[in-house]
Each structure stands twice: as structure tokens, then as C-alpha cells.
Amino acid sequence: MSKIGKKVIEISEGVNVSYKSPDLKVTGPKGELSFSVPSGIDLKIEDNKIKVLQKKGKENETKALFGLTRAIINNMIIGVSKGFEKKLELSGVGYRAQASGNSLTLSVGYSHPVNIQGKEGITFESNEGIITVLGIDKELVGNTAAKIRAIRPPEPYKGKGIKYAGERIRRKAGKVAKTIGGK
């Protein structure tokens, strides 16, 4: 049995959870998310707590999904109550970002600006070289941030590009100049 799967999920205030097998619906102040619970896994909701259970006889098939299901449901509850954000840093001469709602325009050294349209539920903010991706779905926020980073990943010599906030870029030494008179 998974260590994570055994933990009970606390339902925070202002969040409503409805479960009709196999569909789980979580509604909160920031929005609404739904999830299809895998077969072999059952949920027990009582006293503002959710317990994830494995159905009898299907333990071997659901071992891998047990902890995953619990983590996804927990992230749904956090997402509809607080939301998720991922910050990216732009570093490079002339690198800029302009955000308006769910669209982002990047000037990152190409001959043309790169336009990114966020999926439903994703919003962008940008100020002074920092792009913030906001949303209620943790997976969608992370995937969107990864797509933005992939447009111009940081290079190892000067470190210019788009990187996650707090990410350390492994730097390489440049070419060493030849000594005078040497070959």
C-alpha cells in the first residue's frame, strides 16, 4: 500500500466535492475541476475528509494508481481554493515578454515575436523579465510553463534564455585563448 495513498485528504473551507462513481467533481472559489477515478479505486467522503481506497481483489492492478489518484485529488482541492503558479525568468539582452490575459508575446532573439495562447483556465502575468503562469490545474500550469521554457531554453555558456525561477543552469567554460608564441 502506498504511503501517499494512505493519507487522508482534508477538504478546505469553501470547497465542495461531489463523487458519483467514477466521476469526481471539485468546486471552489477559483473554479471547477473534474477527474475520472480509475476502476479498482474507490473514494469515501465524510466529515470534510476524503479517503482513497483500493477495491478488494484488484490490489495488484491498482498499486500504481493508488498514490497517484490521491495526489491528483489533493492537487485539485488546492487548485480550486488557492491556485497554482509557476514563475519563469528571462535573461538576455533585448529579451522581453508582454502578457494580456491568456496570451503571451515573447521577444527572445528570433526575427519574429513568438505568440503563445494559453489554454482555458491559464493566465499570464509579466513584469521586468519574470513571467508568471497562473491556473487551477497543476498539470496544465506545469505543461504551459515547460512549453514556454522550450521556446528558448537557457544555454550553458552565457546562461541567456528562459529558465524556471530558482533553476540553476550548469555553466560551461568557454574556449581558452592560445598563449602567445604557442601553437
> Grid coordinates 473514494 are at which residue?
43
94 and 60 share a domain? no
138 and 108 share a domain? yes
Structure-block grid coordinates of residue 156? 550553458
Residues 158-179 have a mean pLDDT of 86
For residue 56, pLDDT beyond 60 = yes
65 and 110 share a domain? no
Helix (H, G, I), strand (E, B) or coil at 102: coil
- For residues 10 and 48, is the Cβ–Cβ distance under 8 A? yes
Nearby residues of 59 by Cβ (< 8 Å), 6 or more positions away:
none
131 and 112 share a domain? yes
Q: Is residue 140 part of a domain?
A: yes
Expressed as residue numbers, the domain containing 147 is: 84-164
68 and 91 share a domain? no
Number of domains in the chain: 2
Q: Is residue 28 part of a domain?
A: yes
Separation CA 89–CA 131 (nearest Å) = 6
Q: Is residue 114 part of a domain?
A: yes
For residue 106, list its beta bridge partners.
Answer: 97, 114
Q: Is residue 154 part of a domain?
A: yes
Output Rg (C-alpha) for the chain, integer angstroms.
22
104 and 71 share a domain? no
72 and 43 share a domain? yes
Q: Is residue 174 part of a domain?
A: no
**What's the CATH code of the domain at 124?**
3.90.930.12
H helices present in 91-154, as ranges: 138-151
Give the tens place of pLDDT for each residue, 27-46.
999 999 999 999 888 899 98
89 and 160 share a domain? yes
71 and 134 share a domain? no
H helices present in 7-133, as ranges: 59-81
Q: Percentage of the chain surpassing pLDDT 90?
A: 62
Separation CA 60–CA 4 (nearest Å) = 17
User: What is residue 64's predicted lDDT score, i.e. its pLDDT?
Assistant: 82
Structure-block grid coordinates of residue 118? 494559453
- Band of residue 21 on the pLDDT scale cut at 50, 70, 90: confident
68 and 102 share a domain? no
Give the tens place of pLDDT for each residue, 95-116.
999 999 889 999 998 999 999 9
For residue 1, pLDDT beyond 70 = no
Last residue of a domain, one of 23, 52, 82: 82
Separation CA 28–CA 17 (nearest Å) = 9
Of 88, 87, 90, 86, nearest in space to 160 by CA:
90
Last residue of a domain, one of 54, 82, 110: 82
Interhelix angle 59-81/138-151, nearest 10 degrees: 80
Separation CA 77–CA 147 (nearest Å) = 25
114 and 54 share a domain? no
Q: Is residue 40 part of a domain?
A: yes
103 and 158 share a domain? yes
